[in-house]
């Protein structure tokens, strides 16, 4: 298992200690944060404005960037010790044990490992429609049957119908919370009730990639339910709030048994020293998460105010993206934005008139709004 057996190389402990001293001494001078400070003015973006992949436009924090550079000193060594250290830190953060944490090359690999472990011919996977497609795409490779449950009228998971769709053949039921692409949430109470209705033989895979952006008091992480739901697997990522999408690091928290089962499908050495160092630096930087959350959520609120001013329809979001009704097929709108050097989200077949827009920096969002007003003029308000 890639992240569970750290005795296979004798230098693992020594390596981890060396990296701890070399990479993660947070007393080192801080590098300039001009590129990552939400308040900094960086001028027009070089190249296209990327508002299509729910990335964090501020990128790694200054400490994480410094750790990435420093990691080159030990690039010749396998990062087993550092991987174990990160698993320990994550476990402490979530009140779990180290053997309840599994690392992956992005949270997408966590989803892939879950599919490989629990799906196959004759098995079913239940998911909302629409939702993040990776679980369904990996399930197709496993020759499992997809069961898509349409969302509710208010663009949320229909948990009652999803639970009813689970039977003895259902290997996985997937809940993306907040959901991509709608940005809606499953509340803590709803999720707690859902866990009791799903058969114990079905793995409940909850994708919390956008957890850090939620400010609604009704929301609670499914980590709270783990102690009484051994069939629960929670996926998290460093791609979003921590700005490390290009570095690829995600993790799962689950029962020790589930981690062992999924870990059998992990590629050996599936995480690298640079991203491990960056992740540890990010977790150890006070105030990083609330600072980034405020910057991106404030920008999202500004965008919503502009859409309200135009009288446009959108889905209230709890994440770093928003869906806007363009009142027709979204495909030509996407093309028109690309002609203006602005990349926006893809078309979701079940929501063909909705445009998903990632939240960028303020100047990027101003460019988007200007483009939207040209491409899809606002309707004239009644007198």
- pLDDT at residue 4 in the model: 41
38 in a domain, yes or no? no
Q: What is the pLDDT of residue 15?
A: 36
Identify whether residues 314 and 178 lie together within a single domain.
Answer: no
Is the same domain home to 128 and 177?
yes
Q: Is residue 338 part of a domain?
A: yes
Question: What percent of the chain has a predicted confidence (pLDDT) above 90?
Answer: 85
Quick one: average pLDDT of 269-275? 95
Residue 39 has pLDDT above 70, yes or no: no
> Quick one: 196 and 262 in the same domain?
yes
Full residue range of the structural domain in which residue 355 is found? 289-375
Report pLDDT digits (tens) over 84-126. Answer: 999 999 999 999 999 999 999 999 999 999 999 999 999 999 9
Examine the domain organization and report whether 331 and 255 are in the same domain: no
List, as one string, the DSSP characters of 313-338: -EE--SSSEEEEE-SS-HHHHHHHHH
Q: Decide the pairing of beta strands 321-325 and 314-315.
A: antiparallel
Choose one of 283, 302, 327: the last residue of a domain: 283
Q: Is there a single domain that holds both residue 102 and residue 215? A: yes
Average pLDDT, the chain: 90
| pLDDT tens track for 213-233 | 999 999 999 999 999 999 999
Closest CA to 90 of 266, 253, 330, 212: 253
Mean pLDDT of 261-284: 96
Q: Are residues 217 and 138 in the same domain?
A: yes
Domain boundary among 252, 283, 314: 283
> Do the beta carbons of residue 356 and residue 345 sit within 8 Å?
yes
Question: Distance (Å, rounded) from C-alpha 345 to C-alpha 51?
Answer: 7
Q: Is residue 33 part of a domain?
A: no
- My answer on whether 232 and 360 are in the same domain is no
Same domain, 173 and 77: yes
Mark whether 164 and 265 lie in a shared domain: yes
Average pLDDT over residues 51-70: 97
Tokens found for residue 378: 């606002």
Number of domains present in the structure of the chain: 2
pLDDT in the model for residue 44 = 45
- The crossing angle, in degrees rounded to 10, of helices 12-23 and 273-283 is 60
Q: Does residue 90 fall inside a structural domain?
A: yes
Asked which of 283, 315, 344 is the last residue of a domain, the reply is 283
Residues 315, 264 share a domain: no
Q: Are residues 221 and 325 in the same domain?
A: no
The answer to the question of residue 45 being in a domain is no
CATH of the domain at 234: 3.40.640.10
Q: What pLDDT is stored for residue 8 in this prediction?
A: 33
pLDDT for 274 beyond 80: yes
Q: Is the peptide bond before 289 cis (omega within 30 degrees of 0)?
A: no
């Amino acid at each position: 298992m890639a992240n569970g057996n750290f005795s296979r190389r004798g230098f693992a402990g020594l390596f981890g200690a060396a990296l701890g001293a070399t990479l993660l001494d947070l007393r080192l001078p801080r590098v300039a944060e001009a590129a990552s400070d939400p308040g900094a003015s960086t001028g027009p973006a070089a190249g296209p404005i990327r508002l299509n992949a729910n990335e964090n436009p501020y990128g790694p924090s200054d400490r994480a960037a410094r750790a990435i550079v420093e990691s080159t000193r030990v690039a010749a060594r396998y990062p087993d010790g550092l991987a174990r250290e990160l698993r320990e830190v994550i476990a402490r953060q979530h009140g779990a044990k180290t053997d309840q944490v599994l690392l992956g090359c992005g949270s997408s690999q966590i989803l892939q490992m879950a599919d490989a472990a629990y799906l196959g011919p004759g098995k079913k996977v239940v998911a909302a429609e629409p939702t993040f497609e990776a679980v369904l795409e990996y399930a197709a490779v496993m020759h499992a049957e997809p069961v898509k449950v349409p969302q509710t009228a208010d663009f949320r998971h229909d948990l009652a119908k999803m639970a009813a769709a689970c039977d003895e053949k259902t290997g996985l039921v997937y809940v993306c919370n907040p959901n991509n692409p709608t940005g809606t949430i499953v509340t803590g109470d709803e999720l707690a009730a859902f866990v009791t209705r799903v058969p114990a033989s079905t793995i409940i895979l909850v994708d919390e990639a956008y957890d850090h952006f939620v400010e609604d008091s009704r929301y609670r992480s499914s980590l709270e339910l783990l102690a009484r739901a051994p069939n629960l697997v929670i996926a998290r990522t460093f791609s979003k709030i921590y700005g490390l999408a290009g570095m690829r690091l995600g993790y799962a928290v689950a029962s020790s048994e589930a981690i062992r089962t999924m870990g059998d499908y992990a590629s050996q050495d599936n995480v690298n020293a640079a991203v491990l160092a960056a992740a540890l630096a990010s977790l150890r930087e006070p105030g990083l998460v609330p600072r980034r959350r405020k910057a991106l959520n404030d920008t999202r609120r500004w965008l919503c105010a502009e859409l309200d001013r135009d009288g446009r329809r959108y889905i209230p979001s709890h994440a770093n993206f928003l869906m806007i009704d363009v009142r027709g097929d979204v495909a030509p709108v996407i093309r028109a934005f690309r002609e203006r050097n602005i990349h926006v989200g893809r078309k979701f077949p079940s929501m063909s008139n909705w445009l998903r827009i990632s939240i960028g920096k303020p100047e990027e969002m101003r460019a988007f709004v200007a483009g939207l007003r040209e491409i899809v003029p606002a309707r004239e308000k009644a007198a």
